[in-house]
Amino acid sequence: MTNQDFTLEEWLRKHQSQFYPLVPFDAIQDRLLAMDFTDANTALTADVLNDTAAFSAYVTTQLQSAGARYGYGGYNEHRTVYSRSPHFSDAAAGGEPRRLHLGMDIWGPAGTPVYAPVSGMVHSYAYNNNPSDYGATIILSHQLDGRQFYTLYGHLSLADLALAKEGNYVVAGQLLAHFGEPHENGNWPPHLHFQVIEDIGLNEGDYPGVCRYSEREFYLRNCPNPDAIIQWQQWLG
């Protein structure tokens, strides 16, 4: 079989032993909390979502109460949290808002280091500063045993962009960035949005991390489950 006989997610899972941890995590000592940002979570009222300090306090309280180092989840999740910003609404699409999340979120303290999980090159970077957008963003391109793909890192520290340079080679395990503060990460509670992309097209420094539900088939195929790289689903209770 050739590499094209596998989906990208299958290919990534086939090579899992080669991936470096994305953030510091000890599977023996550290706990993870599955976080729900759908309408099933009634604690996330409009008042909480529209107040970044209150939203951040909610996340911190949830982690502390669970004794968890990180919150985790969100791939293929239909989220109501995006109602907090007009950035996710598009009248040109017949009024259908973007609500389906295409990456995996890791919620934790600002300043948490982020490492390249696999070797590659800096494809592009940008400061996406629309309300509730990615904020500081870096995209890497990778060739893994002949298969090309991209990884996107959103909600980073602005200081990390000053060190990024397109075309620079990044070694697996190399420090890449840090979780940003709300004022530089799109006005979100500190976290990392990590996304895998098969075909990035002409996009530079940005790629949709949330799509319309009607577009889910295309985007979920092009953006497979990032847990194939992170490998944390097994540690969730």
Q: What is the mean pLDDT of residues 58-78?
A: 94
> Is 70 exceeded by the pLDDT of residue 193?
yes
Q: Specify if 42 maps to a domain.
A: yes
Q: Specify if 237 maps to a domain.
A: no
Q: Specify if 200 maps to a domain.
A: yes
Among candidates 214, 155, 221, 147, which has minimal Cα distance to 183? 155
Q: Specify if 30 maps to a domain.
A: yes
Residue 34 sits in which domain range? 3-232
Q: Specify if 60 maps to a domain.
A: yes
Confidence of residue 99 (pLDDT cuts 50, 70, 90): confident
**Run of H or E residues at 159:** helix 158-161
Distance CA 2, CA 88 (A): 38
Please enumerate in sequence order all residues whose Cβ is within 8 A of that of 41, keeping only pairs 6 or more positions apart, or say none: none
Q: How many structural domains compose the chain? A: 1
Confidence of residue 50 (pLDDT cuts 50, 70, 90): confident
Q: How far apart are the first and last CA of the chain?
A: 36
Q: What is the mean pLDDT of residues 196-214?
A: 93
Distance CA 80, CA 50 (A): 12
Q: Specify if 82 maps to a domain.
A: yes
Distance CA 151, CA 117 (A): 9
pLDDT of residue 223: 96
Confidence of residue 88 (pLDDT cuts 50, 70, 90): low
Q: Specify if 190 maps to a domain.
A: yes
Q: What is the mean pLDDT of residues 40-47?
A: 86
Instruction: Give the least confident one: 89-103, 138-152, 166-180.
Output: 89-103
Transcribe 174-206 into DSSP letters: -EEEEBPPGGGTTS-SSEEEEEEES--TT--S-
Helix (H, G, I), strand (E, B) or coil at 76: coil
Q: Specify if 61 maps to a domain.
A: yes
Q: What is the mean pLDDT of residues 114-127?
A: 96
User: What is the pTM assigned to this prediction?
Assistant: 0.93
Indicate which CATH number applies to the domain containing 149: 2.70.70.10
Q: What is the mean pLDDT of residues 53-69?
A: 95
